[in-house]
Structure 1
Amino acid sequence: MFVGHNPYLVALSVVIAILGGYTGFGLAARLRGAAHASRRVLLAGAACFLAVGIWTMHFVGMLAAPLPPDASYLVLPTVVSFLICALVVGISLFFVSIGEPSSARLISSAVLLGVGVVSMHYVGIHGLQGDFRLEHEHAMIVFSAAIAIGTAYGGLRIFLAQHGGARLALSAVAFGLAVSGMHYTAMYGMRFVPAEGLGGHAMTGGGLVASSQVLALIVALLCFLIIAGFLLFLVPEPRPRAHMVQGVANGLLPDEEMTIAPRDGDAADAALTAFRAPPVNKTLPLGGAGQPRPVPASRLPVEGVDGTHFIDAAAIRSIKADAHYTLIHDGGRERMCTWSISEAEAQLDPGNFMRVHRSHIVAIPHVTLIRREGDGAVVELDGPAPHLVPVSRARIAELKARLGLLRRQA
């Protein structure tokens, strides 16, 4: 059966799964830095693109298969297969996008996603009707489920490690391999058996029926939707320039409303039009050799769907590096900041903040617990949603001194 597949449609199905995974994971990556209302929209959009990618890949693969000439599709099982897919994908993304996902939660999400993809496949397969019946090799069912769960876990692990660039592309490729690998493994273990000689037990049933031509039209429209979403996702969003935001936060630029005339082709300047800066302390005490010494930033810029907001430095619990940007935790959630981890360390008050790891900064006044873990340590920070931050071995002694533990021990 597998040998008779159309190789061009097989290749198209894999590409569609990867493009749907890239767009869906890309939208999910923005969940942590979004406001509560927009989080729901992003979660729904991510789940929709991933589910459409899975479902479309499945039925492109079905169109590539050498089906019996009288085969048609029952509409109800076909629709139910998509709903199953959308539900499990949404739940999986929700589990891995809130807070700091534990290993148990990551494994559970991967199992749920893999089982959901397998369920979608077999529900959709049994939507076929015609003068035949289907037989499945049980070993191939188990093997296809293992492929789906294993590659789904790898994709989610890569996705959580980094939310952009090559890591996002790798997670999309792993997702595409998970879906397509599961589908074609299951198809390899499936056989069409003519109804003659089987007591007339054919794959027939009542209900609305769609032909292969109708399904091909629907799949073509969904392929266009996935490609359009992928191309739109590649369009960069205009962001305020980092040096302008830092200057406002440090009082180097006026705090009145700024109106910057956009230049042709410069979307970043246009995004700064009518930007309102927060009140800041403009005093710059002199440092060594009469040079001005930067005043610690009282606020840090964070990105939202409606523009750039500012968060008080006193409300910050921790800062985590995320590629060229950072994720700021305010005790309740993480929000994206345009500054790098080094820029944030230079701008914050060193009396209240300490870089405890190459990728983490913590607010000393908010540390509620410290304990050894492996070669390093972890600290817990207070807030409505307390969270743990790793401490490198080289920074443990300094952190304990800052917390007053070494003096007490002495």
Structure 2
Amino acid sequence: MFVGHDPYLVALSVVIAILGGYTGFGLAARIRGTPDVSHRVLLAGAAGFLAVGIWTMHFVGMLAAPLPSGTVYLVLPTIVSFLICALVVGVSLFFVSVGEPSLLRVVSSAVLLGLGIVSMHYVGMHGLSGGFAMEHEGAMVVLSALIAIAAAYGGLRAFLARQGGVQLILSAVAFGIAVSGMHYTAMAGMQFVPASEGAHHHIEGLAASPQILSLVVALLCFVIAAGFLLSLVPEPRRKAPDDRAVPLVEAAGLEADALPAGELAATPGSRLRPTPLGGIGQPPRAAPAPRLPVEGADGTHFIDTADVRSVRADAHYTKVHDGTRERMCPWSISEAEAQLDPGLFVRVHRSHIVAIPHVTFVRKEGDGAVVELDGPSPHRVPVSRAKIAEVKARLGLAGRHT
């Protein structure tokens, strides 16, 4: 009884999957190198848009299928199918965004996400109710699962690439086509079988008509389209900070004072650079480590301390940001602090160390402050209230309150 779909709705379902993939991956690509709060918000937004895109694509595809008359959608399985999709997408993105994304970690996340997409599809199909039964061809079920896993792997690779522009568009298009291909492959392996004569079909639980589902799907399509359009709006360009001390202080809402002797040397029009600390009263300096070890998928690499922008505590280890991305370091934050040159690095928070020469922006925020570090991917680091005075002194700012 399986016949052709409405080609316009099929095309719409593919477009929805592509838009959802673009928006979700675009948000996910910004996760690395952001503060903890922004990290969680971006992760939730990326998982939400990907889940809504996949789920909406599925039900646009269901509306495209000529279902038997009298078919309704059971509300509980329909909602459960969305929750499954949202859960597996969120877990998969979280799994690859924490720690160094090894090949095993990415493949495991892709398998989890792919199986979650397939489960969402068949749970959603179970939500169909009417005077019929459904039969699924085993080979097509396996094929649809393989397509879903391949789509998930490609999507996660796009997330890890942290690229924009053409690569992000191509990744979203490939993901949308693959997810749609999984859906229609599974539908091709399904048949509606008429119920046996004399058998009465009773609808158990709350049900919704195809018209109600159409309204819900239309609303979600609008949400995805709006999110996609918002993702295209360029971020406001940050005004280049004036390298002189007084304008920097005024922008931060602080006051300027005389520069601490022997600590900071600056001239108008040049970047603030700290001079080495030393002399009576200064803490003894350990021999600075010329390089920091960071873990990669193929082993341990080493990066020069001159390239380090910040170090962030992560359980018993740390994350080292080189201005482009974060990578895991096997040292604890205390070990890193002991090895880094105290003339260039300062611990601004119990969980954060920053390289003072790379600070381009400072602003009071609540009881503390935030500083921004330069690089191809600038990122911000919180400063605790107890460390504000030290950071201000290291930047040549006054110790007085505004």
Same fold (TM over 0.5): yes
Kindly state the Cα deviation for residue 162 of structure 1 after the two structures are TM-superposed: 3.0
Give the match for residue 233 of structure 2: 235
SS of residue paired to 1:99 = coil
Give the match for residue 51 of structure 2: 51
**In 2, distance between residues paired with 1:154 and 1:21?**
11
Is the contact between residue 110 and residue 150 of structure 2 (CA under 8 Å) also seen in structure 1? yes
Give the match for residue 146 of structure 2: 146
Is the contact between residue 152 and residue 174 of structure 1 (CA under 8 Å) also seen in structure 2? no
Asked if 1:282 is matched to 2:287, the reply is no
Kindly state the Cα deviation for residue 141 of structure 1 after the two structures are TM-superposed: 0.1
Asked if 1:257 is matched to 2:257, the reply is no
Of the structure 1 ranges 133-142 and 21-30, higher mean CA displacement relative to structure 2 is found in 21-30
Asked if 1:160 is matched to 2:145, the reply is no
**In 1, distance between residues paired with 2:199 and 2:31?**
52
Give the match for residue 206 of structure 2: 208
Give the match for residue 62 of structure 1: 62
Give the match for residue 13 of structure 2: 13
**In 1, distance between residues paired with 2:220 and 2:59?**
11
Percent identity of paired positions between Structure 1 and Structure 2: 61
Kindly state the Cα deviation for residue 177 of structure 1 after the two structures are TM-superposed: 2.2
Kindly state the Cα deviation for residue 283 of structure 1 after the two structures are TM-superposed: 3.9
**In 1, distance between residues paired with 2:33 and 2:320?**
4
Is the contact between residue 34 and residue 335 of structure 1 (CA under 8 Å) also seen in structure 2? no
Kindly state the Cα deviation for residue 331 of structure 1 after the two structures are TM-superposed: 4.4
Number of residue equivalences: 301
**In 2, distance between residues paired with 1:212 and 1:328?**
55
CA deviation vs aligned residue, 1:5-24 (integer Å, no higher than 9, x gap)? 01110011011011111111
**In 1, distance between residues paired with 2:53 and 2:253?**
39
Kindly state the Cα deviation for residue 190 of structure 1 after the two structures are TM-superposed: 0.4
Give the match for residue 96 of structure 1: 96
CA deviation vs aligned residue, 1:187-227 (integer Å, no higher than 9, x gap)? 00000011135x7385x541001000000000000000010
Give the match for residue 383 of structure 2: none
Residues 133 and 257 of structure 1: CA distance in aligned 2, closer, same or farther (over 3 Å): same
The Cα RMSD (Å) is 3.8
Is the contact between residue 255 and residue 276 of structure 1 (CA under 8 Å) also seen in structure 2? no
**In 1, distance between residues paired with 2:15 and 2:319?**
33
1:257 alignment partner AA: V
Residues 256 and 159 of structure 1: CA distance in aligned 2, closer, same or farther (over 3 Å): closer
Give the match for residue 219 of structure 2: 221
2:88 alignment partner AA: V
Is the contact between residue 118 and residue 145 of structure 1 (CA under 8 Å) also seen in structure 2? yes
Asked if 1:330 is matched to 2:311, the reply is yes
**In 1, distance between residues paired with 2:107 and 2:340?**
31
2:82 alignment partner AA: F
Give the match for residue 279 of structure 2: none
CA deviation vs aligned residue, 1:327-374 (integer Å, no higher than 9, x gap)? 95514366988x789xxxxxxxxxxxxxxxxxxxxx9x569xxxxxxx
Asked if 1:29 is matched to 2:23, the reply is no
Greater RCO structure (CA 8 Å; 6+ sep): 2
Unaligned runs of 5+ in 2: 276-287, 295-300, 302-306, 326-336, 342-349, 353-402
Normalising by structure 2, we get a TM-score of 0.65
**In 2, distance between residues paired with 1:7 and 1:233?**
28
2:168 alignment partner AA: L
SS of residue paired to 1:110 = helix
Normalising by structure 1, we get a TM-score of 0.64
CA deviation vs aligned residue, 1:94-135 (integer Å, no higher than 9, x gap)? 011123211111001100110000000000001000000000
Is the contact between residue 9 and residue 60 of structure 1 (CA under 8 Å) also seen in structure 2? yes
**In 2, distance between residues paired with 1:41 and 1:295?**
33
**In 2, distance between residues paired with 1:176 and 1:159?**
15
SS of residue paired to 1:206 = coil
Of the structure 1 ranges 225-234 and 77-86, higher mean CA displacement relative to structure 2 is found in 225-234
1:216 alignment partner AA: S
Residues 14 and 117 of structure 1: CA distance in aligned 2, closer, same or farther (over 3 Å): same
Counterparts of 1:310-325 in structure 2 under 5 Å? Answer: none
**In 2, distance between residues paired with 1:218 and 1:68?**
21
Give the match for residue 364 of structure 2: none
**In 2, distance between residues paired with 1:118 and 1:173?**
19
Kindly state the Cα deviation for residue 294 of structure 1 after the two structures are TM-superposed: 7.2
